[in-house]
Amino acid sequence: MRTRRIGELGVGAIGLGGMPMSIEGRPDEQRSIATIHAALNAGVTLIDTADAYHLHADEVGHNESLIARALAGYDGDTSDVLVATKGGHLRPGDGSWTQDGSPEHLKEACDASLKRLGVEAIGLYQFHRPDPEVPYEESIGALRDLLDAGKIRYAGVSNANSEQIRQAGDILGDRLVSVQNQFSPAFRSSEAELELCARMGIAFLPWSPLGGISKAGELGSRFAPFAEVAKAHEVSPQQVCLAWMLAKAPVVIPIPGSSRPETILDSVRAVDLELTSEELGRLDAAG
């Protein structure tokens, strides 16, 4: 697996998004753990999760706990695995998503995530989504306090615009190492944030890079150029999509969600797919 950087850490250029293993339509735990182990075997060293990846109100942090069990049960070395989690987004249990970006909540959420992950410090802790009821600088200030307390090693922001990224950088300095925004062939409005991250040297982690759980399998039929390039290379349209993202900038580290070993293994192969400038131009124009 080729590597890219998050802060001072080298991680595999393709990460694993854990959300499909814990929300609606999630598989049994055995298959999820097999998926995580397959990713580790393939060289994935970035696993993305959040305390909000769960179904019911009484199982907050389901995905964090699942990942902790998978890592504990893995028979290889996991010392280089970076588990990135998030706080500030909530699921009350009725299918809705809400926000709480108050410093009090973020600090309590971080403590709970620490316990579920079974670590002394979280490798990368990200503010999940801006809360319109809380000034952004207060939420980011909570990340600064968590860094100062040694509870998290690095900080990131998610679903942030360019102004918010700059604001977080002013508050956190070089301890702001990542931005996690939605980006895919169908959703390109974060291109400006991607370019900003490239200039700042901050990792850009596209979430739902293949279009989301329900639409990832249809990527080739929805965007014909991705299917055409895939056919020419005898690979999947999903591999082409991830290779296209990797070519955008050296800071891009896609985190495709997966709940089956075969899908994450297909995604990982994108690191070895070289696309021509003509192909990249066709894909850029396919949105």
Point out which residues pair with 47 in neighbouring strands: 16, 83
DSSP 135: -
CA distance 89 to 171: 21
Asked if 53 is an active-site residue, the reply is: yes
CB 197 within 8 A of CB 225: no
Count of CB atoms within 10 A of residue 105's CB?
18
- Give the max Cα distance, the chain: 53
Of 53, 125, 136, 154, the active-site residue reads 53
List Cβ neighbours of 59 (8 Å cut-off, separation of 6 or more): none
Per-residue exposure over 140-153, b if at least 16 CB sit within 10 Å of its own CB, e if not: bebbbebbeeebbb
Count of CB atoms within 10 A of residue 242's CB?
26
CA distance 141 to 189: 27
Catalytic positions: 53
